[in-house]
Structure 1
Amino acid sequence: MWNLLHAWWRMMPKEKRTLALADAAIGQAREDIDFLTVLPAQAAQAVLKAYFQAWKNCWEGRADAPTFKGRLRTVLSVDIPQGRDLNIVRVHRWWGQVNIPKVGRVRFRWTKDLPVGKRAGVENRITGARLTKDALGWHIGFRVQGLEVEPAPHPGPDVGIDVGITVPLALSDGTTYEHGEWLTKKEKAKLLHLEQRAARRKRHRRPGERTSRRLHRTYDRIAGLRAKAKRRALDWQHKTTTAIARTYGTVVVEALTITNMVTSAKGSIEEPGKNVAQKSGLNRSIAQEAWGRTVTMLTYKTARHGGTLHKVPAPGTSRRCSACGFTTPGNRESQAVFVCRNPDCGWSGNADHNAARNVLHLYRTGHALVPAAGRAVVRRAKRVKPAAAR
């Protein structure tokens, strides 16, 4: 439906790209094309609404222009915009049933409390749902409209956070949050075996020949293991960010431009890059840690608990001594050890905690970045609290 709507949009002149004409085109397409009739009318309207919202986001500079959605790079989803027909019933401690249009009664795993039965009301009710399919199967997510009380200011202390690869999150008070491998040894061996099998089957495929069902099944099993690893990573991020938001009132992070950090070192034919394989491995490690997603979670979770999140400039935080402020590349004796080269100081300690303390110091000295007109501006505080009040 999205791709057909996008094709219609590109073919029509600008003066005819209106919501009314697009709605009429969808209605005509549902009469002419059989497989579109299977889609509920409400879900088709949700696609139209999402498509126009995507163009609004593009015109206002918040996102790129909408494009065609490919089967392999897009999550399959069906929206149920109205919640009054769902008829959710809890049949067991861990299971519930929901009525899906044109599908019927479907059992789902009950993982979170929902406002159903006596708990439902005008201010606390289910307004819709969305069906999604990934490598692990089908999932349903419910949209819940509720009344939340504005939280009181968080009384917790300030904390600076330094993100890394060896130590994912290092806090200025000495706390660290680490995780192991997302897949077990057995699962990693299985993933390697499946990848080798897929490479062999792909090598025997002739040019232009369709992918065999065996190769598709192998790809599905590979995607299932990777989806399992991603789900475990998300679970760790949610639990970690929730613990930080509940403990600290002000969270300070670095304003990292991650897209520039993961650029390829391959170079060009005239000027080939150096250490390409090492840089590729570093880029994969940075992408797996998903620092941007961690900051996004901290942003809304700190606000939910009455706290605030601030960003400070990133340059120099790992090379600056948190005790005397002396900055030089030689301070980083190794990846984990920081030794100040200032002869009058000589402080030594963990490099990650040193960077986190520098991050917090930048915020306390008024170097917080404030977004204004699409760019970051340094705001300097007029008065700094004395050390005893911190």
Structure 2
Amino acid sequence: MGELVWEKRQFGHRARLALTPAQVRLMDDQAHAARAMWNQLHDLWQMTPKCQRALTRMDQALRQARKEIDWYAVLPAQAVLKTYFQAWRNCWDGRADEPNFKARFRTALSVDIPQGRDLQIKRVHRRWGMVNIPKVGRVRFRWTKDLPVGKLADRENRITGARLVKDGLGWHIAFRIQTLELKPEPHQGPEVGIDAGVKLPLALSDGNHQDHGRPARLPDGTADRDKWLNPQEKAKLLRLEQRAAHRKSFRKPKERSSNRLHVTYDQIRQLRARATRRAIDWQHKSTTAIANQYGTVVVEQLQITNMVKSAKGTIENPGRNVAQKSGLNRSISQEAWGRTVTLLTYKTARNGGTLVKVPAPNTSLRCSACGFVTPGSREDQATFVCKNPDCGWSANADWNAARNVLHLYRIGLVAIPAAGRAVVRRTRGVKPAAAR
């Protein structure tokens, strides 16, 4: 029996808040004030020379602004300043991009609570808990996960802070949790290669595919952007979009939108948020099942940003098949391949497994039976037929790619990101083999 090893784990938990109309107004005021303060801090940071940038100077400027501007009082003191400096630390450490300006209509409303001791969390019911939100008061939230509060909380197991976020379904609170857990033993499960696709969301090399059963395209061939909604919700969404377009037609240029139009937009946003929640729920369940079953998960090193670029081109060099490429880009974005890899990364590590990335070129064009790349093997998006006269193997295109992904790992070709690009490194002294 080996020695027990403890390790710190940091993760988040999101819960829905049950706010009264008065509390919703207070939360909205805080979020708008936090966004305005963030933008002013960002402007002050850019105008201040690098040699004079310091937390104390920014703190003094913020305290003076709170005395002169009345609506700054709705915010907890120093909350936005700490969040802004933490954003720069994340940038300097390479965990995020540089902080930028937050636009009013393109930025999600959020308020950060940097200190966990201010929350004063208490469980009052089997399904409900109470949390203290500064400047708002005691608020109920859905208790769906045991939290380290009360007697369960100590120096190593505690809630370090939270963030309040608003989407189409209302306000939610995301707790930042720190725990001390035993380091998991190495996962003894098998190896598996995964190919992320549009027709088949997650194709596995052993045939145990993960499919959400929602077609990516409509009968007319166009991309279904609302596949996570049922027929009744799709009909309602169509009516709301038509109503919004009708009401928008009466608005004159530079005229403020009517309250009815804003209500319609809120209803549309609610349906979109419901669809997004269903998609994320399926991703969590699928990636959890994969991390529990397999010890080594192999995926492709994809440059998704480059894959979803528009094919429109320029006036001098116009693009071809622009509409088809636009539909494909929309389908790729809906599947959220990057989020799937992110979920697999931390879930495999939590179960003692590993996630490995291999180079992506030709994984969809190479035959996994004979190892040759022959022109015309991809007859369509779903079927692979090898054109090698000595082979002729046919199968699902995504399954064929998943087999190739696993084969690249077994022969030692691993893509290691370095300086913004993928570097191929052979990790094992195994001679490449064309067939398996």
- Return the TM-score normalized by structure 2: 0.84
The one-letter code matched in structure 1 to 2:52 is K
TM-fit CA distance, 1:59: 5.1
- Return the TM-score normalized by structure 1: 0.94
Compute the RMSD of aligned alpha carbons. 2.0
Residue 62 of structure 2 is aligned to residue 16 of structure 1? no
Residue 234 of structure 2 is aligned to residue 188 of structure 1? yes
Counterpart of 1:315?
Answer: 361
Counterpart of 2:82?
Answer: 49
**Is contact 2:82-2:114 (8 Å) kept?**
no
**Is contact 2:383-2:394 (8 Å) kept?**
yes
Once the two structures are aligned, what percentage of the paired residues are identical? 74
Aligned equivalent of 1:174, options 190, 195, 207: 207
Change (3 A) 1:58 1:114: closer
Change (3 A) 1:281 1:173: same
Counterpart of 2:252?
Answer: 206
Counterpart of 1:256?
Answer: 302
What is the alpha-carbon distance in structure 1 between the residues aligned to residue 105 and residue 276 of structure 2? Answer: 17
Cα deviation digits, residues 70-92 of structure 1 (max 9, x gap) = 12221212222222232222121
TM-fit CA distance, 1:385: 9.9
Q: Partner of 1:329: helix, strand, or coil?
A: coil
Change (3 A) 1:153 1:162: same
What is the alpha-carbon distance in structure 2 between the residues aligned to residue 273 and residue 22 of structure 1? Answer: 49
Counterpart of 2:335?
Answer: 289
Cα deviation digits, residues 272-310 of structure 1 (max 9, x gap) = 222222211111111100001101111111111111111
What is the alpha-carbon distance in structure 2 between the residues aligned to residue 23 and residue 87 of structure 1? Answer: 26
Counterpart of 1:140?
Answer: 173
**Larger CA deviation: 190-199 vs 244-253:** 190-199
- Structure 2, gaps ≥5 residues long: 1-36, 215-226
What is the alpha-carbon distance in structure 2 between the residues aligned to residue 348 and residue 289 of structure 1? Answer: 25
Residue 369 of structure 2 is aligned to residue 333 of structure 1? no
**Larger CA deviation: 242-251 vs 274-283:** 274-283
TM-fit CA distance, 1:386: 12
Counterpart of 2:423?
Answer: 377
Q: Partner of 2:279: helix, strand, or coil?
A: helix
Matches within 5 A, 1:27-176: 27-41=63-77, 45-58=78-91, 63-176=96-209
- Structure 1, gaps ≥5 residues long: none
TM-fit CA distance, 1:131: 1.4
TM-fit CA distance, 1:383: 2.9
**Matched residue count:** 385
Residue 278 of structure 2 is aligned to residue 232 of structure 1? yes
TM-fit CA distance, 1:252: 0.6
TM-fit CA distance, 1:63: 4.4
**Is contact 2:74-2:135 (8 Å) kept?**
yes
Change (3 A) 1:338 1:297: same
**Larger CA deviation: 309-318 vs 112-121:** 112-121
What is the alpha-carbon distance in structure 1 between the residues aligned to residue 82 and residue 115 of structure 2? Answer: 14
Counterpart of 1:3?
Answer: 39
TM-fit CA distance, 1:379: 1.3
The one-letter code matched in structure 2 to 1:192 is L
Q: Partner of 2:332: helix, strand, or coil?
A: helix
